[in-house]
């Protein structure tokens, strides 16, 4: 039986807390009375994933079994999640490999020949050959790459086609290959509740002209929260598109979930509550802490990027999009949901080194904003963990560092847009099309490994709800230049950050430390 | 009184939009106020209807300035009252008119003045016959049945006399040609039709079509799509036909004693008119060379370039170094107002047998080439033309060595140039070679032009016919004194030197440049920004790309070995490139023989992230995006291969580059089309600009190597980027912008 997530209140004698802080750590004693929420322990994995996959395909929800949907001469397209999940990359075989090998096995058995595999990257960067091999394994690569296994291209006009418009006039345009297929099999790894379901197709294999209807400042401001689809305006728009899609093409959805065994044994301190640390764990942490501080950031980053998660599959379900996703969410909640009583004035967060958009790369200031205000803030069901007008204190150096290959539009966005306005609406209105349609960003997106020119807008907009809600954000250890440009404060320690937050939340605020990673969600009552 | 004679009479005029026609319309409106009506058959042009054409081209002419001033607000009323424009076409059956119009003409017309003709001396045979013979006969056949049996006045040319010596009488054509051959006009026309059919058939011959296709492909290169190639092939075929038909027409004309197809077909028209006139009274009026007006509507009014003018201008521009004529021969010029007046005077006749009038100067007031040369030379020595740099052009001194000698010298010069050109073509495309080529091209153009003039006009300058004007003189003298004042055409009144210096030459040299005027009216073309790729946008070259691609193909341990072997060839390639970029491309691309296109495409895509991205010049990129933001058409023009440039296609609106030929699913190592280098690049650009309506004079081009010089020269704003030594010198000399774009990286791999 897995240990459930739990809450402790710090006492005078409690040990200092460790925080993730980008490519390093932070270690500080928090005030007495601080509430610390720990994630649940890893859920037991499926005893045999292959058997579970087989069963899911044989007994799908709301749809015929897969083998009955396959016939010779058909056009089959298998679409799979891109490099943005799982985080960190999981130890092979990846869920996608396991599932797709099974699907292919069935397709071969039924004599299906016209099969394409598409990495559903939407407006993310292309996956490298190495990353594809990591996710899919050698066998699939050698049979399909590069002619029939490729990255989705949102900027290929020929390669995308309109399949309809929603009743609100939103254009639904998706990959032509998928639209013209007799069957689309979508293979997900669902790391958080936000992803999967209809969002898969409508962001994974859709171009900017469609995505902008749900990924914009207005919908994201009204998304409470992103991680709680029924209360998300973004998901409302996506579900409208989903109806159009269901009428136009047949999608067989396969979703899988993972447990949160995120870190290998050498980083055991991350998953273990501090009060359980023995001397060895503590020594290990301090050694790592010191080493990452002594190392140049690049070297530290390399170390972190080498982490491979020993995550295991906890569920797999297949069939029609909606019923499948409902079950998936249940499995996610089983692993991730921690019930919490009441909001607090201050929420303290450790910011991990990796988010969905900086796999094998740098988490630049915009992505730090996205991580804290978009991702972590939204890990709630019901009410946010921090009260309206409260303060987030996050530990991250927010260095002025950028990856010009993967994120070429981010630095200009920071220098041009954020320098002018941090208001997502204004940024969108004044600058978005210029970036989204820029020929150089299009070229880099299509031919290099760059996120789309529009991407910094959406990552900033993710924070729209949090920006409305919060009274302030303080970055512990944050770069003064980057934090101030984004409209945030900085401090050297959490204690100092609390001083900085004092004008907003008073001298003795209630404090909650959400002890991440691994990721989990709070159901706040 | 002529004015009285035309009271309530009706004239039908064809060719009313031409030089003579315009003058005629003006004179009729001004001096025959009691005329019943003037019908004009006007052919609609591509973009203008007949009415608009008349109002803009005819009434818009400077010829009407005087009448507008005289009549003031009454001008439009006069026009509306007297003129009726019929939209039609002299070449079409029934003039292309409706029954109503025809009935109206049939009922009213008293005089038909047929002045429409093709005055192109070297027109292709079919066009010349159509417009000069068939058009005339068609009109005559209509007119002879009209109720008033109108006078048919056929405007011909004095030069139908052909190559004869001595007096050419004012008499209808006989049964023989100028050299005494017996000629049946009807049979001759059938024979000419057969020639046209034969040439048309020959043009469809398969070998010939293949040649056109090769030529079209070479010319269009990467720009050409299939339909465009097909259209170009047809164009080439037509051009070929046209050339043959010009040749055949001239050949036949000379065989029979005429100079050219113009005078030949005009004579055929006269002959047919005489034969077909039936009961109609017929007047044939033969002007010599019609030039600017002597007196009316104002001295020196002229429109278009008349026959003698191109030669005069070519001389004034210093292009015609020697004249292929006998200085003692007559240059038979008449002012346009004399011709108009003679027409109106003769138009009152209704002769039983055909009457002929020469409107010419040779007999009563001769002007010889030597005199013309003296007058013209004196004028341009005093008033020289200026070249584009504002320097006066020196006019040459002619020694009149005779046509034979002139042509012989020109031919020798052309032969030498041709031989030189062949040598130059074999030389690789280097800088000096292209310079020499340009000089040769200019010399060749000059020689060709001289030879052309010699062929076309030389015959006129070796004419020994003297056009008798006794009947015309009698016609003039038969006028009442008032009419002689109002409608003068006594050629002896003209003082050639005064007319040339005071009227004609100033009119020739000061009139607005037609070409320039037309250009302004055109829809302005787009501005383009043309970027060379290797060395300008990306710090790389053909060789390093190949090396990178090749390395991807090899297992890692072998790569250094391959590279070491490959490096030994670099000096050879380097040397080759210094001599000629085009030659180098051709040789180097052989390395790709045997490659699979799909694999190349995949590697090409990978090369962007793996190779190109690291080498892109950020300044170049910024400049490119600035052009894009300004709405310019961004064009990549490169000798690089298509699959390498494919990933960059989103940066540009167009990519013009090299492609490798394929056979059985592999590259042969040959380029399909010519290498995109040197002059070929400039040609490709020019053809591209024409097709996409790009205004090169307002466009920008960026390039780095001397081989790009022709392309840079083709645009209004050339910019030399990180230029090699020779391009730097060339750019400095021409005052072009030189940019040294930093080589820092756009992006570095993490």
Nearest CB neighbour to A447, from listed B598, B634, B647: B647
Inter-chain touch A440–B651, beta carbons under 8 Å: yes
**CA distances in angstroms from B394 to A168, B136, B380, B387, listed in the order given:** 77, 45, 8, 10
Q: Which residue in A362, A440, A447 is closest to B609 by CB distance? A: A447
Regarding whether A349 and A211 lie in a shared domain, the answer is no
A200-214, B420-434, B476-490, B512-526: least confident range:
B512-526
Residue where one domain finishes, among candidates A258, A287, A302 = A258
pLDDT at B384: 80
Chain A residue numbers with beta carbons less than 8 Å from the beta carbon of B750 are 360-362, 403, 405-406
Scanning the structure block, which residue is given the tokens 């204190």?
A393
Contacts of A442 in chain B (CB under 8 A): 650
* A405 and A448 part of one domain: yes
Query: What are the φ and ψ backbone dihedral angles of A97, each rounded to 5 degrees?
Result: -65, -45
Measure in Å the smallest separation between the Cα of B651 and chain A Cα atoms.
Answer: 5
Pairing of strands B282-287, B151-155: parallel
Shortest distance, CA B596 to any CA of chain A (angstroms) = 14
Strand stretches in A143-245, DSSP E: 149-151, 160-165, 171-175, 183-190
Q: Within its chain, how far is the Cα of A259 from the centroid?
A: 15
Cβ–Cβ of A360/B750 closer than 8 Å?
A: yes
The structure tokens listed for B608 are 């962007």
Q: What is the pLDDT of residues A494-521, one digit of tens each?
A: 999 999 999 999 999 999 999 988 889 9
% of chain B with per-residue pLDDT over 70: 91
CB contact under 8 A, B748 and A404: yes
Tell me: do A36 and A110 sit in the same domain.
no
The CA-atom distances, in angstroms, between A64 and each of A57, A242, A253, A318, A319 are: 9, 19, 12, 10, 8
Structure tokens at A475: 């970055």
Name the residue among B647, B650, B750 with its Cβ closest to that of A362: B750
* Structure confidence at residue B750 (pLDDT): 39
A437 touches B: beta carbon within 8 Å = no
* Residue B400 domain-assigned (yes or no): no
pLDDT tens column, B22-53: 999 999 999 988 888 999 988 888 778 888 88
Write out chain A residues lying below 8 Å of B650, CB-based.
Answer: 155, 439, 442-443, 446
Write the pLDDT tens digit of every residue in A218-241: 888 877 777 777 777 788 888 889
Same domain (yes/no): A26, A65: no
A307 domain-assigned: no
CA distance B738 to chain A (A): 24
Nearest residue, CB atoms, A440 vs list B598, B605, B621? B621
Main-chain dihedrals φ then ψ at residue A88, nearest 5 degrees: -60, 175
Note whether A360 and A483 are same-domain residues. Answer: yes
Neighbours of B749 (CB within 10 A): 13
Enumerate the β-bridge partners of residue A524.
Answer: A340, A382
B689 min Cα distance to partner chain A (Å): 22
CB-CB: which of A404, A439, A447 is closest to B747?
A404
How close does chain A come to B560, measured CA to CA in Å?
23
**Residue found under tokens 């107002």:** B337
Q: Which of A35-39, A170-174, A251-255, B381-385 has the lowest mean pLDDT?
A: B381-385
Considering only CA atoms, which of B357, B344, B330 is closest in space to residue B157?
B357
SS3 A347: strand
**CA torsion sign, A507 to A510 to A515 to A520?**
negative
CB-based contact, A154 to chain B, within 8 Å: no
Tell me if A163 sits within 8 A of A245, measured CB to CB. Answer: yes
pLDDT of the residue at B519: 40
Indicate whether A288 belongs to any domain.
no
Give me the pLDDT at residue A118, please. Answer: 96
pLDDT attached to residue A420: 92
Contact list in B for residue A406 (CB cut-off 8 A) is 750
Task: Please tell me the predicted confidence (pLDDT) of residue B513.
Answer: 46
* Arithmetic mean of pLDDT, B61-70: 87
**Residue A69: what are its φ and ψ, rounded to 5°?**
-90, -5
Using an 8 Å Cβ cutoff, are B632 and B529 in contact?
yes
Total domains, chain A: 2
> At how many degrees (to 10) do helices B431-458 and B403-426 cross?
160
C-alpha–C-alpha distance, residues B109 and B101, integer Å: 12
Residue A274 pLDDT: 93
Backbone φ/ψ region at B21: left (φ over 0), alpha (ψ -120 to 50), beta: alpha
Q: Is position A56 within any domain?
A: yes
| Residues of chain A contacting B598 with CB distance shorter than 8 Å | 147
Written as six digits, the tokens of B291 are 């030039």
Query: Same domain, yes or no, for A81 and A20?
Result: no
Q: Same domain, yes or no, for A25 and A146?
A: no
Q: From chain B, pick out residues whose CB is under 8 angstroms from the CB of A402.
A: none
Under the banding of pLDDT at 50, 70 and 90, the label for residue B561 is: confident
**Is A153's pLDDT higher than 90?**
yes
Is A291 among the domain residues? no
Q: Which residue of B has its CA nearest to A449?
A: B609
Which of B207, B233, B256 is where one domain is finished?
A: B256
Q: Cβ–Cβ of B746/A404 closer than 8 Å? A: yes
**Residues belonging to chain B with any Cβ–Cβ distance to chain A shorter than 8 Å:** 598, 602, 605, 608-609, 613, 621, 624-625, 628, 634, 647-648, 650-652, 746-750
Mutate to test the interface with A, among B613, B625, B631 (most CBs of A within 10 A): B613
| pLDDT tens digits for range B366-404 | 988 888 888 888 888 888 887 665 667 778 777 777 767
Task: Give the pLDDT of residue B220.
Answer: 65
β partners of residue A61: A319
Look at residue A234 in the predicted model and tell me its pLDDT: 81
A156: nearest CA partner in chain B: B650
How many residues in total does chain B contain?
750
A147-A153-A155-A159 Cα dihedral, nearest 10 degrees? 60
In whole angstroms, give the CA distance from residue B55 to residue B22: 11
Q: Indicate whether A345 pLDDT > 70.
A: yes
DSSP string across B9-29: -EEEEESTTSHHHHHHHHHHH
pLDDT for the residue numbered B431: 55
- Residues forming beta bridges with residue B392, ordered by sequence position: B386
* B456: closest CA of chain A, how far (Å): 56
Q: Considering only A143-147, A358-362, B552-556, B601-605, which range has the smallest mean pLDDT?
A: B552-556
Measured at the CA of B248, the angle between CA B244 and CA B254, to 5 degrees, comes to 145
Residue B543, min C-alpha distance to chain A (Å): 21
Site from B610, B620, B650, B653 to mutate, A interface, most A CB atoms within 10 angstroms: B650
B455 pLDDT higher than 80: no
* Same domain as A104, residue A33: no
Dump pLDDT digits (tens) for B691-744: 888 888 889 999 998 888 888 988 989 999 989 888 999 898 888 888 888 766
- When scoring A297, A302, A439 by the number of chain B Cβ atoms within 10 A, the one with the most, hence best to mutate, is A439
Contact A405 B609 (CB under 8 A): yes
Helices B336-346/B19-31 angle, 10° precision: 60
Q: What is the pLDDT of residues B661-670, one digit of tens each?
A: 888 888 988 8
- The average pLDDT across A93-101 equals 95
Q: Which of A405, A439, A443 sits opposite B750 (nearest CB)?
A: A405
A131 touching B, CB under 8 A? no
Average pLDDT, chain A: 92
Number of domains in chain B: 2
Cβ-Cβ contacts under 8 Å, B749 against chain A? 405
Average pLDDT over residues B613-632: 88
The CATH code of the domain that includes B564 is: 3.40.50.1000
Q: Are B580 and B428 in contact (CB under 8 A)?
A: yes
Residues B72-77 have a mean pLDDT of 86
Written as six digits, the tokens of B462 are 């070796």
With a cut of 70, say whether residue A332 has pLDDT above it. yes
Strands B10-14 and B111-114: parallel
Backbone angles phi, psi at B586, to 5 degrees: -60, -45
pLDDT for B523 equals 53
Band the pLDDT of A1: cuts 50, 70, 90: low
The verdict on A77 and A224 lying in the same domain is yes
Measured between beta carbons, the chain B residues lying within 8 angstroms of A449 are 609
Contact B284, B354 (CB under 8 A): yes
CA distance, residue B648 to nearest chain A CA (Å) = 6
Instruction: Give B644→chain A minimum CA distance, Å.
Output: 11
Q: In DSSP terms, which residues pair with B658 in a beta bridge? A: B641
Note whether A250 and A361 are same-domain residues.
Answer: no
Q: Looking up tokens 């041009």, which residue turns up?
A: A416
> How far, rounded to the nearest angstrom, does the alpha carbon of residue A479 sit from its chain's CA centroid?
24
- Domain assignment of residue A251, yes or no: yes
| Domain region containing B234 | 196-256
CA B452 to chain centroid: 14
Residue A432 lies in domain:
6-42+337-524
Would you state the pLDDT for residue B219?
67
- Identify whether A486 is part of a domain: yes
CB A343 within 8 Å of CB A390: yes
CB A358 within 8 A of CB A364: yes
Q: Decide if the complex's ipTM is over 0.90.
A: no
> B239 CB contacts (<8 Å, ≥6 apart)?
none
Any idea what the CATH number is for the domain that residue A62 is in? 3.40.50.11440
Query: Which residue from B minimizes the CA distance to A362?
Result: B750
Q: Is position B40 within any domain?
A: no
- Specify burial of residue B695 (Cβ count, 10 A radius: 0-12, 13-18, 19+): middle
- From chain B, the residues in CB contact with A155 under 8 A are 650
Q: Indicate the DSSP class of residue B490.
A: -
Single residue among A258, A287, A311 that ends a domain in this structure:
A258
Last residue in a domain, options A218, A241, A258 = A258
Looking at residue B390, its pLDDT comes to: 62
| CATH number, domain with residue A349 | 3.90.226.30
Q: A121 and A22 share a domain?
A: no
Does the residue A295 lie in any domain?
no
Q: Residue B13 above 70 pLDDT? A: yes
Collect all residues of chain B within an 8 Å Cβ-Cβ radius of residue A438: 625
Cα B32 to Cα B9: distance, rounded to the nearest angstrom: 10
Question: Quick one: pLDDT band at residue A329, thresholds 50, 70, 90?
Answer: very high
- Are residues A386 and A500 located together in one domain of the fold? yes
| Mean pLDDT to the nearest integer, B349-378 | 88
- Give the one of B609, B625, B652 whose C-beta lies nearest to A448's C-beta: B609
Measured in whole angstroms, the distance separating CA B361 from the mean position of its chain's CA atoms is 31
The DSSP result for B666-730, as a single string, is EEEEEEESS-S-HHHHHHHHHHHHHHTTB-GGG-EEEE-SGGGHHHHHTSSEEEEES--HHHHHH
Average pLDDT over all residues of chain B = 84
Minimum mean pLDDT range among A166-175, A478-487, B424-433 = B424-433
Instruction: Measure the CA dihedral A56/A58/A62/A64, to 10°.
Output: 150
Whether the pLDDT of residue B516 is over 50: the answer is: no
């Amino acid at each position: 039986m897995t240990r459930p997530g739990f809450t402790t209140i710090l006492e005078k004698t409690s040990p200092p807390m460790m925080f993730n802080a980008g490519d390093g750590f932070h270690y500080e004693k928090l005030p007495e009375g601080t509430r610390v929420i720990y994630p649940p322990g890893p859920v037991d994995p499926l005893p045999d994933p292959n058997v579970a996959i087989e069963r899911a395909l044989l007994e799908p929800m709301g749809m015929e079994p897969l083998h009955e949907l396959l016939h010779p001469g058909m056009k089959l397209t298998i679409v799979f999640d891109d490099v943005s999940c799982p985080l960190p990359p999981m130890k092979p075989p990846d869920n996608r490999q396991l599932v797709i090998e099974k699907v292919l096995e069935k397709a071969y058995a039924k004599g299906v020949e016209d099969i394409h595999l598409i990495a559903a990257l939407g407006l993310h960067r292309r996956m490298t050959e190495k990353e594809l091999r990591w996710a899919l394994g050698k066998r699939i690569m050698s049979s399909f790459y590069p002619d029939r296994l490729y990255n989705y291209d949102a900027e290929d006009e020929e390669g995308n086609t309109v399949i309809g418009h929603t009743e609100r006039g939103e254009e639904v345009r998706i990959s032509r290959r998928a639209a013209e297929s007799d069957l689309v099999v979508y293979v997900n790894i669902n790391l958080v509740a936000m992803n999967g379901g209809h969002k898969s197709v409508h962001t994974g294999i859709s171009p900017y002209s469609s995505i902008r209807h749900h990924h914009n400042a207005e919908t994201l401001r009204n998304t409470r929260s992103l991680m709680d689809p029924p209360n998300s305006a973004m998901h409302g728009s996506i579900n409208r598109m989903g109806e159009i899609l269901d009428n136009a093409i047949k999608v067989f959805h396969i979703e899988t979930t993972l447990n949160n065994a995120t870190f290998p044994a050498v980083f055991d301190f991350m998953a273990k509550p501090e009060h359980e640390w023995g001397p060895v764990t503590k020594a290990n942490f301090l050694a790592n802490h010191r080493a990452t501080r002594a190392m140049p950031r690049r070297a530290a980053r390399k170390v972190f990027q080498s982490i491979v998660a020993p995550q295991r599959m906890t569920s797999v379900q297949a069939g029609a999009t909606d019923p499948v996703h409902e079950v998936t969410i249940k499995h996610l909640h089983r692993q991730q949901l921690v019930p919490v009583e009441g909001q607090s004035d201050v929420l303290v967060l450790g910011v991990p080194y990796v988010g969905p958009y900086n796999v094998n790369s740098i988490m630049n200031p915009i992505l730090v904003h996205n991580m804290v205000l978009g991702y972590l803030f939204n890990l709630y069901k019901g009410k946010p963990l921090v009260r309206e007008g409260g303060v987030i204190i996050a530990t991250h150096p927010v260095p002025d560092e950028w990856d010009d290959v993967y994120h070429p539009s981010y630095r200009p966005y920071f220098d041009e847009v954020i320098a002018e306005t941090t208001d997502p609406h204004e940024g969108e209105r004044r600058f978005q099309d210029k970036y989204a349609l820029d020929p150089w960003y299009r070229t880099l997106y299509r031919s290099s490994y760059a996120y789309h020119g529009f991407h910094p807008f959406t990552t900033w907009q993710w924070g729209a709800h949090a920006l409305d809600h919060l009274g302030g954000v303080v970055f512990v250890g944050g770069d003064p230049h980057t934090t101030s440009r984004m409209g945030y404060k900085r401090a050297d320690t959490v204690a100092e950050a609390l001083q900085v937050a004092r004008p907003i939340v008073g001298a003795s605020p209630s404090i909650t430390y959400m002890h991440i990673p691994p990721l989990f969600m709070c159901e706040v009552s | 009184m002529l004015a009285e004679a035309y009271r309530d009479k009706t004239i039908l005029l064809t060719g009313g939009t031409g030089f003579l026609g315009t003058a005629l319309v003006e004179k009729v409106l001004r001096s025959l106020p009691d005329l019943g009506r003037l019908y004009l058959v006007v052919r609609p042009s591509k973009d203008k209807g007949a009415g608009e054409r008349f109002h803009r081209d005819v009434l818009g002419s400077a010829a009407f300035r005087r009448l507008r001033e005289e009549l003031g607000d009454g001008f439009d009323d006069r026009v509306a009252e007297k003129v009726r424009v019929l939209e039609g076409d002299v070449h079409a059956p029934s003039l292309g008119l409706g029954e109503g119009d025809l009935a109206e003409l049939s009922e009213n017309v008293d005089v038909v003045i047929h002045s429409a003709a093709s005055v192109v001396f070297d027109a292709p045979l079919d066009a010349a016959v159509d417009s000069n013979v068939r058009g005339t006969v068609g009109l005559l056949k209509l007119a002879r049945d009209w109720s008033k049996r109108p006078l048919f006045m056929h405007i011909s040319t004095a030069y139908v006399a052909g190559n004869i010596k001595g007096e050419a009488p004012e008499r209808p054509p006989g049964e023989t040609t100028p050299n005494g051959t017996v000629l049946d006009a009807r049979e001759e026309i059938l024979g000419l039709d057969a020639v046209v059919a034969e040439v048309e058939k020959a043009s469809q011959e398969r070998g010939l079509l293949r040649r056109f296709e090769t030529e079209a492909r070479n010319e269009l290169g990467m720009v050409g799509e299939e339909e465009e190639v097909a259209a170009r092939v047809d164009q080439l075929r037509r051009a070929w036909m046209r050339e043959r038909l010009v040749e055949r027409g001239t050949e036949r004309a000379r065989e029979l004693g005429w100079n050219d197809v113009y005078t030949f077909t005009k004579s055929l028209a006269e002959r047919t008119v005489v034969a077909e006139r039936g009961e109609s009274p017929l007047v044939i009026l033969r002007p010599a060379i019609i030039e600017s007006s002597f007196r009316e509507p104002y001295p020196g009014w002229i429109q278009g370039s008349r026959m003698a003018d191109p030669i005069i201008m070519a001389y004034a521009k210093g292009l015609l170094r020697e004249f292929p004529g006998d200085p003692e021969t007559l240059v038979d010029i008449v002012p346009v107002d004399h011709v108009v007046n003679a027409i109106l005077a003769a138009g009152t006749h209704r002769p039983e047998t055909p009457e002929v009038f020469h409107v010419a100067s040779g007999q009563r007031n001769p002007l010889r080439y030597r005199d013309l040369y003296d007058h013209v030379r004196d004028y341009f020595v005093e008033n020289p033309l200026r070249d584009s740099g504002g320097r006066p052009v020196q006019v040459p001194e002619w020694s009149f060595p005779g046509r034979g000698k002139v042509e012989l010298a020109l031919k020798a010069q052309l032969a030498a140039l041709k031989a030189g050109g062949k040598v130059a073509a074999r030389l690789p495309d280097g800088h000096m070679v292209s310079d020499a080529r340009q000089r040769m091209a200019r010399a060749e153009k000059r020689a060709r032009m001289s030879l052309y003039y010699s062929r076309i006009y030389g015959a006129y300058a070796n004419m020994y016919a003297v056009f008798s004007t006794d009947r015309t003189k009698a016609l003039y003298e038969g006028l009442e004194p008032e009419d002689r004042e109002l409608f003068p055409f006594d050629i002896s009144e003209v003082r050639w030197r005064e007319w040339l210096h005071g009227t004609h030459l100033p009119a020739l040299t000061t009139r607005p440049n037609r070409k320039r005027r037309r250009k302004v009216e055109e829809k302005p073309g787009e501005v383009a920004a043309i970027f060379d790729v290797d060395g300008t946008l990306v710090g790389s070259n053909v060789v390093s790309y190949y090396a990178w691609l090749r390395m991807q193909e090899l297992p890692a341990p072998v790569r250094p070995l391959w590279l070491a072997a490959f490096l030994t060839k670099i000096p050879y390639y380097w040397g080759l490139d210094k001599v000629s970029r085009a030659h180098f491309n051709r040789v180097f691309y052989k390395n790709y023989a045997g490659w699979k296109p799909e694999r190349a495409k995949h590697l090409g895509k990978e090369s962007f992230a793996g190779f190109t991205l690291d080498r892109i010049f950020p300044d170049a990129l910024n400049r490119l995006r600035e052009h894009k933001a300004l709405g310019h058409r961004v064009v990549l023009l490169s000798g690089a291969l298509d699959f390498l440039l494919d990933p960059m296609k989103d940066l540009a609106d167009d990519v013009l580059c090299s492609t490798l030929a394929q056979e059985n699913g592999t590259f042969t190592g040959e380029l399909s089309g010519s290498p995109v280098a040197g002059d070929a690049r400039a040609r490709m650009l020019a053809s591209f600009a024409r097709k996409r309506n790009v205004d090169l004079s307002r466009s920008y081009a960026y390039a780095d190597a001397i081989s790009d010089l022709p392309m840079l020269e083709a645009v209004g704003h050339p910019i030399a980027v990180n230029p090699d030594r020779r391009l730097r010198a060339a750019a400095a000399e021409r005052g072009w912008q030189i940019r040294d774009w930093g080589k820092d990286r756009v992006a570095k791999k993490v």
